[in-house]
A and B are shown apart, each in its own frame.
Chain A
Amino acid sequence: MTSRQTVPVIMAGSRPRAWPRSTRRVPDVGHRIVWRTVAVVATFALWQFSSAVLGDRVVPAPAQVFRALASLVTTAEFWTALLTTVTSTLLGLLIAVALGVPLGLVVGSSRFLTASTRLSADFLRTIPPVTLIPLALLLYGPSIAMQVVLIVFGSVWPLFLHAIYAVREVDPIMRDVSAVFRMSTWSRWVNITLPSSAPFLLTGLRVASTIALLLAVAAELIGNAPGIGLEIALTQMGAQVATAYAYVVVAALLGVVLNLVLAAAQRCLLFWHPSVRSVDVAS
C-alpha cells in the first residue's frame, strides 16, 4: 500500500478544491444495471462452459455448487465452522490492533525508538507468518489459540507500521497549533494526533484484516484448527468437489463482508478527509 497522503493543495485565491475524484465517468444507473446483469450472465455461462469442457471433477457446474451450498447451510457443522473462523479472525485482529496501534503510536512519536526498531520490525514483518505454524502447533496444538497467535503475528505489522507512519505524518502546523493554544497532552492526543492518524490506521486495519482472514483459513487448513478451512480440507479428503467450491464461495463472501464493513467504517469515521468528504456546501 502506498499510504502517502496528499495534503490538500490550496491554490492562491481559490476555494479549496474538491478532492480530485477518480476520473471515471460513472455510467448512468440504468446502463450500469443492464451491463452488470450481462456480465453476471456471461460469468455463469463461462463457468457452465468450462465445467462442460473440463468435466465436473475439475469444475463442477454452477447448479451443483449451489445445491451443495444449499445443503451446507442446513447443517449445524457449517454454522459452527463459520462462527469459529469469524471469531478467531476477529479475536486475532482485535489483539493485533490492541498491540500494534499503541506501540506504533509510541514508537512513531520518538525518533530514537523509530530508528531503533526499524531493522527488527523490518525483519520480523517479512517472515512469512505461516512459518510460525509448526511452532504454534507445537506449543498450542490444533486449537483456536494456535490460530490466534498466527493471526496476531501476521496482522500486527501493517498496524504497527501504519501507526508509526501516521504519527510521523501529523502536520507540523498542527503541532504548532497545539503549542500556541496551550493544549494539554491529553487534549493534543484526542483532538489532533488520533484524528489525523485515523486515515493511516484504517488503511492499516484493512490490510491487516485481509491477512487475518487468509491466516485464519491457513491455520485451519494446515494446522487442523476448527473452522471453515478444516471443513474445506475434509472435503478434499472426501473428494467432494462441489462442496469444496461451495466453501470457497463462503470464504469469499466472508472476505467481501469484512471489506464492506471496513469500507463503511472508513467512510463514516473519515467524513472530514479529502478522499471521502462531499462537495463544498457553503461558498
Chain B
Amino acid sequence: MSSYVGRLTLELWLPVVLVALWWFASMNSTSAFFPPLRRIVQDTVDVWFIQGHISSDVLPSLTNLLFGYAIALTVGVALGLLLGLMPRLYDALEPELEFLRAVPAVAILPVAIIAIGLGDDMRITVIAFGSFWPILVNTVAGIRSTDPVVKDVATAFGLRPATRLFSVRLPSAAPQILAGARTALSIAVVLILVSEMSGAFRGLGNFVLAAQRNFAITDMWSGMIILGMLGYLVNIIFRVVESQILRWHPAYREGAKWVTSQ
C-alpha cells in the first residue's frame, strides 16, 4: 500500500510542479500571448461546456475521425491479410506500395479539396487514405513473420483454412497490426485537425486556428487544452483496447511497460 502511494507520488510530482509553475508564473501575466492559466481554465469551462462547443465542434471532429479510421482499419487489415498471404503479389506491388506509403498524408489534402470539395466526405477520405498505409504495411509484415513453428502446428493438426486464418495467423500478427494501428491513429488525429484548419467552418482544428486569427488568445489556449486532453484520452482508449487484444502477449503479461508501446 505504502509502496503504491510512493509510486504515485513519484509519478505525479513533476506534472503537479509543472502545472503549478505555469499557474503561478502566468498569474499576473499581461502578455497578450500568455494569459494567466486561471483565465484559460475559466474560459475552457465556459466555451466548451457552457456555450456547448463540445457538441458543435468536438463531436463532428470525432465522428469524422472515427469513420475515416474505421475505413482504414477495415480495408487495411483485409488487404494486408491478402497481401501477406500472397507473397508473390506483394513482392510485385512493393515499389508502388512503398511509394504511396511515403506520401506525407497532409500533402493530398489540397488535391482532395479540389477533387471532392470541402465537406466531411473529403475529411473522411483524407483520414482513411493517410491512416491506411501504416495499417496495411504492418499487417503484411505481421502476417509474413508468423513463427514457422506456429504454422507447422496449424498444418500438423489439419486446421481448416478459416480456423487457420482467424485463430492462428491473425492473432499472431496482432501485435504488429496494433503497432500499425497506433501510428495510424496519430496520423488520423493530425489529418482531421489539418483538414479542419484548411477550410472548414466547424471542428476543433478550425476553432483554434480561427481563434488565433481573431486574436482570441484565451480561446485558442482553451482549444489547445481540449485538444491535448482529447489526444491523451484517445491514446488511453487505444491502450485499453490493445491490452485486451494482446492479453496473451509476454509484454502485457509482465505488466505493461509504457515505453514498449511506443
Could you tell me which A residues sit within 8 Å of B by CB distance?
A: 1-4, 20, 22-27, 32, 35-36, 38-40, 43, 54, 57-59, 112, 115-120, 122-123, 126-135, 137-139, 158, 161-162, 164-165, 168, 207, 213-218, 221-222, 228-229, 232-233, 235-236, 239, 241, 244-245, 247-248, 251-256, 258-259
Given the known inter-chain contacts A122-B258, A133-B197, A251-B104, please indicate yes or no for A39 contacting B235, CB distance below 8 A: no
Additional 8 contacts, C-beta under 8 A, given A35-B92, A133-B208, A134-B209: A35-B88, A35-B91, A40-B95, A126-B232, A165-B259, A218-B106, A248-B111, A255-B101
Given the known inter-chain contacts A134-B208, A134-B211, A255-B103, please indicate yes or no for A2 contacting B176, CB distance below 8 A: yes
Given the known inter-chain contacts A233-B198, A245-B111, A251-B107, please indicate yes or no for A22 contacting B208, CB distance below 8 A: no
Q: Interface-forming stretch among B5-13, B40-48, B153-161?
A: B5-13
Instruction: Flag if B114 contacts A241 (CB, 8 Å).
Output: yes
Indicate the member of B209, B221, B223 with the most A CB atoms within 10 Å.
B209
| A63→B193 CA distance, assembly (Å) | 33
Which residues of B sit under 8 angstroms from A23, Cβ to Cβ?
144-146, 148
Given the known inter-chain contacts A4-B251, A168-B259, please indicate yes or no for A38 contacting B193, CB distance below 8 A: no
Given the known inter-chain contacts A133-B209, A222-B194, A252-B99, please indicate yes or no for A115 contacting B11, CB distance below 8 A: yes
Is the contact region of chain B dominated by helix, strand, or loop, or is it mixed?
A: helix
Instruction: Flag if B232 contacts A236 (CB, 8 Å).
Output: no
> 7 tightest A-B contacts by CB?
A255-B102, A236-B110, A134-B212, A35-B92, A251-B107, A252-B103, A126-B231
| A233→B224 CA distance, assembly (Å) | 24
Distance in Å: Cβ of A152 to nearest Cβ of chain B: 16
| A218→B196 CA distance, assembly (Å) | 12
| A40→B92 CA distance, assembly (Å) | 9
Distance in Å: Cβ of A5 to nearest Cβ of chain B: 11
Total B residues in contact with A, Cβ cutoff 8 Å: 73
| A251→B114 CA distance, assembly (Å) | 18
Given the known inter-chain contacts A118-B258, A138-B212, please indicate yes or no for A128 contacting B95, CB distance below 8 A: no
B115 on the interface (CB 8 Å rule)?
yes
Choice from A2, A40, A117, A259 contacting B179 with Cβ under 8 Å: A2
Distance in Å: Cβ of A101 to nearest Cβ of chain B: 14
B205 on the interface (CB 8 Å rule)?
yes
Distance in Å: Cβ of A142 to nearest Cβ of chain B: 12
Instruction: Flag if A127 contacts B110 (CB, 8 Å).
Output: no
Could you tell me which B residues sit within 8 Å of A by CB distance?
A: 7, 10-15, 18, 33, 87-88, 91-96, 98-111, 113-116, 144-146, 148, 175-176, 179, 183, 186-187, 189-190, 193-194, 197-198, 205, 208-209, 211-212, 217, 220-221, 223-224, 227-228, 231-232, 234-235, 251, 258-262
Distance in Å: Cβ of A241 to nearest Cβ of chain B: 5
Instruction: Flag if B262 contacts A161 (CB, 8 Å).
Output: yes
Distance in Å: Cβ of A167 to nearest Cβ of chain B: 10
Which residues of A sit under 8 angstroms from B104, Cβ to Cβ?
213-214, 216-218, 251-252, 254-255
* Identity of the chain B residue whose Cβ is nearest the Cβ of A108 in the assembled complex: B259
